Amino acid sequence: MPFTGDILKYRSLAIIGMEKNTGKTECLNYVISGLKASETRLAITSIGIDGESTDQVTRTSKPEITLYKGMLFVTAEKHFRTKRLTAEILDISRRSTSLGRLVTARVIEEGKALIAGPSDTAWLKEIIEDLPQYGADLTIVDGALSRKSLGSPTVTDAIILSTGAALSANLRTLAFQTKYTYDLISLPETSTLLQSKLADLDNGVWAISKDNEIIDLGITSLLNIEHSGKNLLSHGSRLFVPGAITDKMLNFLKIQKQIEETEIIIKDFTRVFASPESYYSYISRGGKFSVLKNTKLLAITVNPVSPSGFILNSEETIRTIQEVVTVPVYDLRQINN
């Protein structure tokens, strides 16, 4: 089965949907099924509810999550009670979500379950780090681009991105938006020296001199970048921004005389909240981006069917997106059929 073998190189994987109904749950089931025969012990969790037979927003049918004997899963108490499988409880969290405490369990007899995991990524990271003590070799997290911090390398080691007609029924727009996310995930890493120097900085804006000296620019907020950022590049053309990258900052930088030498270093791709137009305008003028650590994107899956019933041509969709990315692109429905 395509790309499932690559997953075994990692300890954790996020399956991120760019929009609801782009096929991430189908992708999750595909991965679980593909790894069933391996000796890898899988653990499954999610941020938000997943595994429901009907999408609670669009009211369209959704594939349920099938869990096999020996798999581990983490879900809220409310959904643990409604599971359609036999499981052994391994742990119950002290903290609660809106759906109750989190139950960590091992599947005894296979069946289906709703998966609703922790309410924030810090808690998710703790769960991923704890699951190996129960025998997990690989933890898979079901998420969404609205919670793209799931794809941060500080949370998971690798990503599969799910896109499709639910994001846009216009193929050109769909390919453009998918490429933008792909480009962010693919940003290059900065030097090992700067990775170690910058890793613990969480606020402000920092200049990096030619000698790799880290200089606090005293800027606590980028909201008034036009005023506070007048001397932004006075110590060199490289900047480290631990927080969010916005349109306002990129629009300010792209009109500076040093734009062709400017490089913004960020912690990872999840920190970019700028529009594609602002991002590409900054890049086209010579501006650069790098990250402290990048995330491995394994594949992109496409669902050519939208909840409204509009259907894109599968082969054309795959071909169009494949032309603008270097990772493999699949329609899993074609593979499964």
Separation of alpha carbons 169 and 132, rounded Å? 41
Q: Where are the domains of the chain?
A: 4-186+296-336, 192-291
Q: Which H, E and C letters describe 212-263, residue by residue?
A: CCEEECCCCCCCCHHHHCCCCCCCCCEEECCCCECHHHHHHHCCCCCHHHCE
Which pLDDT score, from 0 to 100, does residue 149 have?
Answer: 58
**CATH entry 3.40.50 includes domain 4-186+296-336:** yes
Which pLDDT score, from 0 to 100, does residue 53 have?
Answer: 45
Which pLDDT score, from 0 to 100, does residue 337 have?
Answer: 56
Which pLDDT score, from 0 to 100, does residue 141 have?
Answer: 93
Which pLDDT score, from 0 to 100, does residue 219 have?
Answer: 81
Enclosing H/E stretch for 331? none
Low-confidence ranges of the chain (pLDDT < 70): 1, 48-63, 144-151, 221-230, 336-337
Task: Output the pTM of the full model.
Answer: 0.90
Record the tokens describing residue 318, joined without a space: 């795959």
Enclosing H/E stretch for 277? helix 276-284
